[in-house]
Structure 1
Amino acid sequence: MDPSVGSVGDAYDNAMAESQIGAYKTELIRPEGPWRSVDHVEMETLDWVHWFNHERTHDSVDDLTPIEVEHAHYAMRNRLAPTG
């Protein structure tokens, strides 16, 4: 059997992706079906991803949304004085 694509640590990356796919299926695909078409799934997926990134809080980042964490990250980076 071939190993996963990539380098060391990919097993953890794959586990995280599988966990994300599981959340997607649990929170959107199973409860909201049956689906009318692939287009219907795609549009609802766009809404779910937007909600997931902009409104859903995550325990792993102190109950912030991913977009809040991203904004805080870049705000902190921009406050650092350049070294020279």
Structure 2
Amino acid sequence: MLNWLGIKPSYSRPRVSDDNAFAEALFKTAKYRPEYPKRGFADLEEARRWAADFVHWYNHEHRHSGIHYVTPAERHSGRDRAVLEARKAVYTLAMARCPSRWNGRGIGNRDRHEQVTLNPERDAVFSTAPTEVMERHSA
């Protein structure tokens, strides 16, 4: 796609899904877990056990901001719908009980995103790119 658009690929750009930054961010999350061993792992099996536990925590317990603070497991199974609706009801009730606390901002967007992407602003650019490229080449 990049070549087709006349863009030279680079693998050192921020917010790009195939960039090393995503791996580094995940590694930082792993290293800052309280149970991460300060002196390393005793052997490969210990490292594998720790990694399996980390992956389970990351997918089943850790709430992700990009999907409105539900877990990936809740999102993939569809259970996030009930969680988000219940959360929205709590916020709506809290705002009704004490509207001055909300400073006119309302409860914000508590709805489920039907589509989740890593770079939504970039996706919008790419969705219009073929038309623009075609127009540029036909002029």
TM-score range for the pair, normalised by the shorter chain length: 0.5 to 0.7
> What is the distance in 1 between the residues matched to 2:70 and 2:78?
10
Q: 1:64 to 1:56 in 2, by over 3 A?
A: same
Report the count of equivalent residues.
Answer: 68
Q: TM-score, normalised by structure 2?
A: 0.40
Alpha-carbon displacement from aligned partner over 1:16-75 (angstroms, at most 9, x marks no partner): 22211221222267x4232211210111110110111011111111110001111129x9
Partner of 2:50: 44
Question: Residue 72 of structure 1 corresponds to which residue in structure 2?
Answer: 78
Percent identity at matched positions? 22
Q: Which has the larger radius of gyration?
A: 2
RMSD: 3.0
Which one-letter code corresponds to 1:57 in the other structure?
Answer: R
The 5-angstrom pairing of residues 1-84 of structure 1 reads 3-4=10-11, 12-13=16-17, 14=19, 15-27=21-33, 31-34=36-39, 35-72=41-78
Structure with the larger RCO, 1 or 2 (CA within 8 Å, 6+ apart): 2
What secondary structure is seen at the aligned counterpart in 1 of 2:42? coil
Specify every segment of 5 or more residues in structure 1 that has no aligned partner in the other structure, as ranges.
76-84
Question: Where do 5+ consecutive residues of structure 2 fail to align?
Answer: 1-9, 82-139
